[in-house]
Amino acid sequence: MWKYRTPGIPDELFQRAEEIPMTKEEIRALTISKARLKTGDNVIDVGCGTGSLTVEASIQVTPGGKVYAIDREKKAIDLTQQNLDNFGFKNAVQLIHGEATMVLGSLPAADAILIGSGGEHLTEIINLASMKLKPEGRVVINAILLETIYAATKELAKAGFKDIEATQISVAKGRWTQKGTMMISRNPIMIISATK
């Protein structure tokens, strides 16, 4: 279905559900770039949603690597499974239905951990990520709330991460109308990345 290794699969190729969040293609491309993935890496995707980042990470780490996709919503896990089946990556991924704070400790050491905001458990997830990441491993957090951005950068520094970086991304996509092209803005996203 997707024959390229470059990230940024078009959004319309993913199965979606209104109530399950999906990281959009431009944000996925930058998130994967900030994670600095390579073939054979182990990746943990916390809050996998539709599985769009799980699929993108799988492309980068296979063969030989593995992605562990976690979500507390059963519908998100089911949707991620559908997308993995569609893209042919079901063998490269282990899906985990549950709270990240309860399952992160049992997973193998990771080269990168991708966090979809972290919600009310962000501090605990960052601390678990710090213990779970290999030396020089990367953590990448996507956030839309200012409070999440503040909490994430503060907690990453407190946990001893280095090279902490926050990048704000604003994307506008063209929509064609009868009179011409209209640019539709999406919510700005902050991508926070750091190295263990």
The pLDDT tens digits of the residues spanning 48-102 come to 999 999 999 999 999 999 999 999 999 999 999 999 999 988 788 999 999 999 9
Question: Is the CB of residue 166 less than 8 Å from the CB of residue 190?
Answer: yes
Closest CA to 49 of 176, 170, 164, 142: 142
Do 25 and 49 form a contact (C-beta atoms < 8 A)? no
Q: What is the mean pLDDT of the chain?
A: 93
Residue 95 lies in a domain: yes
Residue 118 in this model has a pLDDT that exceeds 70? no
Best CA proximity match to 32, nearest among 11, 50, 55, 14: 55
With respect to residue 3, please indicate whether it lies within any of the assigned structural domains: no
Domain contains 107: yes
Question: What is residue 168's three-state secondary structure?
Answer: strand
Q: Is the pLDDT of residue 1 over 80?
A: no
Mean pLDDT along residues 33-45: 97
Closest residue by Cα to residue 86 from 129, 116, 51, 119: 51
Q: Which two tokens stand for residue 10?
A: 């078009």
115 in a domain, yes or no? yes
Q: Residue 1: inside a domain, yes or no?
A: no
DSSP one-letter code for 121: G
Section 144-154 average pLDDT: 92
Query: pTM, whole model, 2 decimals?
Result: 0.93
Q: Is 76 helix (H, G, I), strand (E, B) or coil?
A: helix
DSSP state letters, 130-167: HHHEEEEEEEEEEE-SHHHHHHHHHHHHHTT-EEEEEE
As given in the structure block, the two tokens for residue 191 are: 């991508």
Statement: residue 117 has pLDDT above 90: no
User: How many domains are there within the chain?
Assistant: 1
Q: Is residue 5 part of a domain?
A: no
Given a cut of 80, is residue 186 above it in pLDDT? yes
The answer to whether residues 45 and 22 touch, using CB atoms and an 8 Å cutoff, is no
Q: Is the pLDDT of residue 2 over 90?
A: no
Nearest to 99 by CA among 79, 140, 128, 78: 128
pLDDT of 120 reads 84
**CATH code, domain carrying 85:** 3.40.50.150
**Residue that has been written with the tokens 């296979």 in this structure:** 62
| Domain boundaries, position 80 | 11-195
Residue 74 lies in a domain: yes
* Residue 18 within any structural domain of the chain: yes
pLDDT of residue 90: 75
Residue type, 75: K
